[in-house]
Structure 1
Amino acid sequence: MIHKETGQGTFARVTVGTDGFIPLKQRWMQLMSKFEKGTELVFLKWGVLLFIVGVMLGRAAILSDLYPFALPFFAAVFVLKKNRALLAATAILVGTIWGLTFNLPHVLIGMVGFLVLYKLFKTLMIQTRWALPVAVLVTSFLARIAITYVSMGTVTQYHWMMGAIEAGLALMLTMIFLQSLPLITHKRKQRSLKSEEIICFIILIASVMTGAIGWVIYGLGAEHILARYLVLLFALAGGATIGATVGVVTGLVLSLAAVVNLYQMSLLAFAGLLGGLLKDGNKIGVSAGLLVGTALIALYGQGLSSAGITVMESVAAIALFLLTPKSAIQYMAKYVPGTTEHSKEQQRYMRKIRDVTAARVERFSDLFQTLSSSFTNDRETTYTNEKDLEGDRFLATITASTCQKCFRKETCWAERFDTTYDVMEDVMTDIEQGDVQKGSYDRLKRHCIYPDRIVKTMKEQWGPHELRKTYAKQLEESRRLVADQLQGVSQVMGEFAREIQKEKETHDSQEEQIHEAIQEAGIDIGQVDVYNLTPRDVRVEIELGEDVGREEAEKLIAPMLSGILNDHIIVDPENDEDVEDGKVMNFVSAKTYTVDSGAATVAQGGAWLSGDNHAAMQLGFGKFAVAISDGMGNGKKAHDESKATLKLLENLLQSGIDEKVAIQSMNSVLSLRADEEMFSTLDLTIIDLQTADTSFIKIGSMPSFIKRGGQVSSVESGNLPMGIISEANFDVVSRSMQDEDLLIMMSDGMFDGVKHVENKERWMRRIISEMETEDPQTMSDLLLEEVIRVSDGKIDDDMTVVVTKIRRNTPRWAKIPMQKWVPQMYKEA
């Protein structure tokens, strides 16, 4: 049994020890950060890495007779980083003196001649981008011929040919170094390397390795060790493709430098391929691939004097490889397309771009919210103050033309201000109501010696005063409309910013499982992309094979996905065009409920145009809206008004603006039409297709009816039509619908048609409950026909009825069980 105090003491020591690791880890990370910064400072900013490369290229040669590396390196550095040109020239001279002293005159003449010819060609040539390679080509050729002539006194055909070959190699190396040198002279930006950049970079490194030819360490060739080390690095970072490519290019350059290294191309290429294939085994797997490749080439290759030396060179390269930090290899892999590290880096970059975009959208949302607030702050108080101010302005106008000239002005407005103001206000109120009442006039007469003049002036000025009030009211309505619209835009942009921040999750394993399951069932498919696995919101894209069309997708692939994902999956209804060979088909979660609607309408007196309009619209993937609008009056004018109302409503709702804000905006637009009195009713129903929860918004419209079995209930709300008052105060009535429910909406003409019926709502419920049909279109036609029949065939007003049936979405095709895939799928998801 542990003693209480001892246990506490032990626990305290463990806690302190654990906390002690945190500063140690932080110090280690700080040390590594300082090391990275110091390395970057020394090798990149100070140019040490550039100097080392220059030294190695200065002593590099091809076939012991061609020296095409030095001049292209100097030319590329001179063009890319002119401030490092002197450093590059010094490095080249050091390398030349170190390994190829006899080639020093050729290097000096080449660099000086390049500076002269490059400036000349850049001045004369129209296409200045060709000035650099042409200057290198000409300088290299002329320098070689001049040195040969001075040293030998003659130039043979062989020397002409070798000079041309060296100049051609210098031209190509110049273009290669222009692509690859920025990778070692600049800090890398967060982007992947192009294939050309990777090849050029490998050629540059291989060219540097040629400068190590002749270095022997305990009988082992330094260039062989470095070349295999390079292959190991790229095989682990980029896989078999990159590893084999690096092996081929490096071996080719080394074989050009020395014919005895010709076998290196096959050895390095084979080792890079095997190592890349075994990269899942990390460093051990890649090293095993190099050893196997080396052993095979050493045993069966030609031109090898000793297999043991070749294997030992590979062992030395593996030792360097095992000592290389994992972070360095991961850093390389970030820039190689196709690698996991590159994918993560790209995702990190895209996430950064997405966050920046979302932040900008959010700032715009905040801007619109602020603008909206500037219009709405203390709006009611401001409006009340404006009303009081208008009254004071009216009284000031009256007193300016009456009281200012009266000898009792000081008595009334200085000594008895409150009483005078109350009397004037009472008279103003009477005039506003129609005429001055006797009580107010008697009070004014007792208080003022010129009552008739006051009343007459007030009546004359009342018209302009009312006009000013109308303009002030319209200004207030405009402010309210702008505020509501800005608020709606702010909400939409806020939602958009949140949508931007959602990223496509990686579902590699799930994609492989789906692909394997469908392929095992005998259906030919291509690429599988999983975008979302959230229940009821699944989205999968599959590339169909040559012999697979839409019918197979609906009847086989979708049911199989339903079994795999344990969800009701269908072909995306929006992807309804014919599927061609290799076309991508979208598969999505089916909605829990579907909606069928039917409508019947007739114009007043059987005319062509009805003042009623109706619409059924899909709002995104999860909601459905049905609306009826009745314009004031009949004929074309009313038809255009109701049609415009529905069109505006549809645009607002589909843009993502909340239905309350959308309707308030519509009401504000209609109420601002001061030149004509055009009002519209609106009957709007919004159905959630996942839960069947339904919202009813009625503005000046008739009751709606819900038929469930033999029972009929009504939904109503008493609100004035849009455009009559400035503020549309409306209630949202919510109901939960069920499978097979029928929703009946109608315009006022349907009620007004049955004039001899006293309780029209009760009569309509009875007619609906007695109907045996459940087809929406048939019920619409029968209801309209019944109302016209009861009205003795008279159509005194526009009539519209819309019937909507809600049904639970029953799968057309049964699930195809794929049980062995389901547990793993959702475990990993």
Structure 2
Amino acid sequence: MEKIEQSVMEPVGKVDIEHTKTEFSMGMKVIMQKLEWFFVQKGFVLFGLGFLLGRALILSHLTPFAMPFFAAVYMVRRDRAPVALMGLLAGSLTLSLTNITYTFASTILFLIIFRVTRKFQKNELKAVPYFVFFTTITANLTFDYITNGQMMTVYDGAMAGVEATLSFILTLIFIQSVPLFSISKRKKSMRTEEVVSLIILLASVMTGTIGWSVYNLSIEHILSRYLVLLFSFVAGATVGSTVGVVTGLIFSLANVASFYQMSMLAFSGLLGGLLKEGKKAGAAIGLLIATLLVGMYGESDTSLTKTLYESGIAILLLFLTPAALTMKLAKYIPGTAEYNQEQQQYIRKVRDVTASRVEQFSSVFQALSNSFVSLEEQMENDDVDEREFDQFLSNVTEKTCQTCFKKEQCWARNFNQTYDLMKDVMFEVDQGHVPVNGKVGRELEKHCVRSKKVQDVISQELTYYQANLKLKKQVQESRKLVADQLLGVSEVMGDFAREIQRERENHQQQEEQILESLQDFGMEIENVEIYSLDKGNVDIEMVLPNGNGHGEGEKLIAPMLSDILGENIIVQKEDAAAFPSGHCQLTFGSAKAYVVDTGVAHAAKGGGLISGDSYSMIELSASKYAVAISDGMGNGERAHYESNETLSLLQKILQSGIEEKVAIKAVNSILSLRTNDEIFSTLDLAMIDLQDASSKFLKIGSTPSFIKRGDKVVKVEAGNLPMGIFYEFDVDVVSEQLKAGDLLIMMSDGVFEGPKHVENYDMWMKRKIKEVGTDDPQAMADIIMEEVIRTRSGEIEDDMTIVVSKIKHNTPKWSSIPVQKFKRKEQVS
């Protein structure tokens, strides 16, 4: 019983703990949102920054921070400028009445100059630093003149120029950093310039704390070290050391006695960033080491104990900093893991939105395809014919029986007999028996008093009836064709959406293993990126330093990868180095299991230059190869245009990913609708899979093809009419399994039916193919073409094209190189 209670109570306790954590995190999030609303949106953070900047000094008496800060706030958040001004005046008041008077007078002068010259400004943001410069130097010289009277010196003018120059530079910096504290909704990342500007602003703000101390511990030292700790922990050694240098430099300008702080802050930022993998404790250890080293060997008069206390308080502040704040800060700084994750989430969101839109388009095309298959078209043909005949009979009776006095007797009392008789009469008229004789004629004469008129009307209406049936059939076929094409587009877009959503797999471990194995072999590899390790679809990119084009990728790396992955790997693409010491980028992929070697022989009718036949060898993808021959009706330029257009359309549609049968139907519909002329073309298409050598043959009005395997010759044929005759037709697909060494012979009718005085073209062609003693595709194509022309005594009476393709195993150019550490793909895991 106690065990049962314990097993029940344990999950409850876990649930309570998880619930408490969730509530705590939600509470902290609410508190952070309220603090952000209070300080950022209400502008109180600007008051605090202004207060510290208003009392910040450089070189003991220069105040170059107040005017740039007010100008930046005035340009970015004009509605919060009074709050910032109040903070500046409050800070200046802590120094002296002269400082507050100078700050207030310079801001008023800036506003007057800005408002007066506003009409002449094309870009206010670019003009502000110049206004600040002019305002600062004018106010400084004026105050010096009032204070010193006629005793102004060159030193006073030089210091006024220095302060004005610093104000000019600080204005450019503050304009980039002030939005970070005054605008709550902004972009989710910062440029490097913005990060540096933020650091300078924070360091400038901390100079306002110079002279403050608690229990004889310097506030500026504590805050500066905390700032370095925070950025080194969040952003690493680069940003941490940058913060240390910038902060120490600004402190040394404010107080020359603090110059030694720059070395300690920079060193602590570097060590803290290098030790950030140890979390906050690692960054804290970096600060302690820097403090001990600089404190023991530096020239500072401050005691080591006091310095350690200040560093200890900075470390305590770091540990008290909420993780939510550090993570939020990290998302803004380029190069951090949080920043990269944020960018990945954005990219993933864009990808998902794109895939969703593509899927919506796919569903739209699917719905359009379904809408073309209406209920009426799904009904049986007998029902359709019966309804059409009823309509036909209605038209006949309207012109004959409606005004007949025997209408009631024929259609009310003897409906079935009259209906069957009308059907028989229509059949006789359709057969061309006009006037109707025989048994049907006698029954009509006996049954109907207007038999002659009925026959004439039936003969007249029958023409419209047949034309209507033909038109409806064509419309139905067209609808079905459009439905198939829309369905094909829908499938292609659906596959594309799934391809978009497929993320790159994480192959970091495999990349390290392959890199290590290649480096152990002595190869110098800078980077390896694996995109796919699927069998037959390997995709690997490598970067080689000092690539000099000696073929290392083809001769060494690819054979080693072949041994590691257990399949043939080849160099698919090589981007050579632009200069001798540059980098070379190589792309490796799976080699095809089979390759196709093709030979072609063709001739135009009468030895002309333009043939009505066209042929094409199409690389559809990494594993599909297509061979096609099209024969345009007739000869000459028009036939060449038709056949070439057929292959061009087919190639574009097949490369889009649409299935072969749908592609051929689409080409047929285009050809049949494009012109009213009776211009047709045949198509002989062979689709070969280069991974398993399976093949599909689609023959549209074309002659048979032949497969030669040793001494055996197999004929491949299918009965389909040429393209362009009918809107709709069925495509017969013949599948054959090819083998290495097979010869595929495809030809136009000019070759197949070319031999003179031959009764059985099949037997003659099989015999000639079997007699050819070579397996070279080009030689075989030339020999068969020559044999056919010889039977015609050298005359070429039709366009002739023959394409011979040989299926071969893909033998790698270089043998695999054994790698001792990894022998199989299973080990690369």
C-alpha distance in 1 between matches for 2:657 and 2:151? 82
Give 1:124-273 correspondences, 5 Å limit: 124-154=120-150, 156-157=152-153, 158-187=155-184, 189=186, 191-273=188-270
C-alpha distance in 1 between matches for 2:458 and 2:243? 99
C-alpha distance in 2 between matches for 1:765 and 1:118? 96
C-alpha distance in 1 between matches for 2:452 and 2:38? 100
The residue identity in structure 2 corresponding to 1:491 is E
What does residue 354 of structure 2 align with? 357
**1:798-824: CA deviation from partner (whole Å, max 9, x where unpaired):** 44332222222222112223332668x
Cα offset, 1:197, TM superposition: 0.4
1:51 is aligned to 2:52: no
Conserved? CA contact 1:754–1:790, under 8 Å: yes
Residues 247/761 of structure 1: CA separation in 2 closer, same or farther (3 Å cut): same
Cα offset, 1:409, TM superposition: 5.6
1:434 is aligned to 2:469: no
The residue identity in structure 2 corresponding to 1:551 is G
Cα offset, 1:223, TM superposition: 1.1
C-alpha distance in 2 between matches for 1:388 and 1:137? 96
Cα offset, 1:527, TM superposition: 4.5
Conserved? CA contact 1:148–1:155, under 8 Å: no
1:60 is aligned to 2:61: no
Moved more, 338-347 or 374-383: 374-383
Segments of 5+ residues of structure 2 without an aligned counterpart are: none
Moved more, 696-705 or 419-428: 419-428
**1:56-96: CA deviation from partner (whole Å, max 9, x where unpaired):** 22222222311222232222222212222232223223333
Q: How many residues align?
A: 823
Moved more, 100-109 or 459-468: 459-468
What does residue 682 of structure 1 align with? 683
Residues 610/182 of structure 1: CA separation in 2 closer, same or farther (3 Å cut): same
Conserved? CA contact 1:524–1:546, under 8 Å: no
C-alpha distance in 1 between matches for 2:309 and 2:11? 50
**1:214-273: CA deviation from partner (whole Å, max 9, x where unpaired):** 111232211112112211222222222212211111111111111111122222222222
C-alpha distance in 2 between matches for 1:54 and 1:411? 110
Residues 259/401 of structure 1: CA separation in 2 closer, same or farther (3 Å cut): same
1:556 is aligned to 2:556: yes
Match of 1:294 among 287, 291, 294: 291
Cα offset, 1:510, TM superposition: 4.6
Give 1:632-671 correspondences, 5 Å limit: 632-671=633-672
Moved more, 53-62 or 89-98: 89-98
Conserved? CA contact 1:549–1:579, under 8 Å: no
Moved more, 653-662 or 748-757: 748-757
The residue identity in structure 2 corresponding to 1:329 is T
C-alpha distance in 1 between matches for 2:351 and 2:470? 48
Residues 254/566 of structure 1: CA separation in 2 closer, same or farther (3 Å cut): farther
Conserved? CA contact 1:231–1:272, under 8 Å: yes
Identity of aligned residues (%): 48
Conserved? CA contact 1:270–1:293, under 8 Å: yes
Conserved? CA contact 2:548–2:577, under 8 Å: no
Residues 387/341 of structure 1: CA separation in 2 closer, same or farther (3 Å cut): same
Moved more, 746-755 or 387-396: 387-396
1:72 is aligned to 2:63: no
Residues 607/314 of structure 1: CA separation in 2 closer, same or farther (3 Å cut): same
What does residue 631 of structure 2 align with? 630
Give the SS at the match of 2:372.
helix
1:103 is aligned to 2:99: yes
Moved more, 343-352 or 456-465: 456-465
What does residue 35 of structure 1 align with? 31
Cα offset, 1:619, TM superposition: 0.5
Cα offset, 1:171, TM superposition: 2.3
Give the SS at the match of 1:594.
strand
Conserved? CA contact 2:478–2:728, under 8 Å: no
C-alpha distance in 1 between matches for 2:794 and 2:636? 20
Cα offset, 1:712, TM superposition: 3.4
**1:691-740: CA deviation from partner (whole Å, max 9, x where unpaired):** 22222222333333333333333333333333333322123233333322
Conserved? CA contact 1:477–1:672, under 8 Å: no
The residue identity in structure 2 corresponding to 1:599 is V
Residues 57/786 of structure 1: CA separation in 2 closer, same or farther (3 Å cut): same
What does residue 718 of structure 1 align with? 719
The residue identity in structure 1 corresponding to 2:538 is V
Give 1:291-690 correspondences, 5 Å limit: 291-378=288-375, 380-381=377-378, 398=396, 401-403=399-401, 406=404, 422-436=420-434, 437-438=436-437, 439-460=439-460, 471-508=471-508, 510-511=510-511, 513-515=513-515, 517-518=517-518, 521-549=521-549, 551-572=551-572, 581=580, 582-672=583-673, 675-690=676-691
Cα offset, 1:656, TM superposition: 1.1
Conserved? CA contact 2:629–2:683, under 8 Å: yes
Moved more, 175-184 or 328-337: 328-337
Residues 218/565 of structure 1: CA separation in 2 closer, same or farther (3 Å cut): farther
Residues 306/13 of structure 1: CA separation in 2 closer, same or farther (3 Å cut): closer
Residues 395/287 of structure 1: CA separation in 2 closer, same or farther (3 Å cut): same
**1:510-567: CA deviation from partner (whole Å, max 9, x where unpaired):** 5455555545555555454433333322222333444521623211232233344444
Conserved? CA contact 2:574–2:584, under 8 Å: no
Cα offset, 1:350, TM superposition: 1.0
Cα offset, 1:205, TM superposition: 0.7
Moved more, 586-595 or 45-54: 45-54
Cα offset, 1:618, TM superposition: 0.5
The residue identity in structure 2 corresponding to 1:501 is Q
State the superposition RMSD in angstroms.
Answer: 3.3
C-alpha distance in 2 between matches for 1:536 and 1:155? 89
TM score, norm. by length of structure 2? 0.90
Conserved? CA contact 1:361–1:497, under 8 Å: yes
C-alpha distance in 2 between matches for 1:765 and 1:6? 89
Moved more, 548-557 or 527-536: 527-536
C-alpha distance in 2 between matches for 1:821 and 1:98? 72
What does residue 89 of structure 1 align with? 85
C-alpha distance in 2 between matches for 1:769 and 1:255? 96
What does residue 774 of structure 2 align with? 773
Cα offset, 1:102, TM superposition: 4.4
Conserved? CA contact 2:542–2:585, under 8 Å: yes
Give the SS at the match of 1:819.
coil
Residues 284/30 of structure 1: CA separation in 2 closer, same or farther (3 Å cut): closer
The residue identity in structure 2 corresponding to 1:308 is T
C-alpha distance in 2 between matches for 1:737 and 1:379? 44
The residue identity in structure 1 corresponding to 2:119 is T
Residues 415/146 of structure 1: CA separation in 2 closer, same or farther (3 Å cut): farther
Conserved? CA contact 1:515–1:528, under 8 Å: yes
**1:202-223: CA deviation from partner (whole Å, max 9, x where unpaired):** 0111011111111112322111
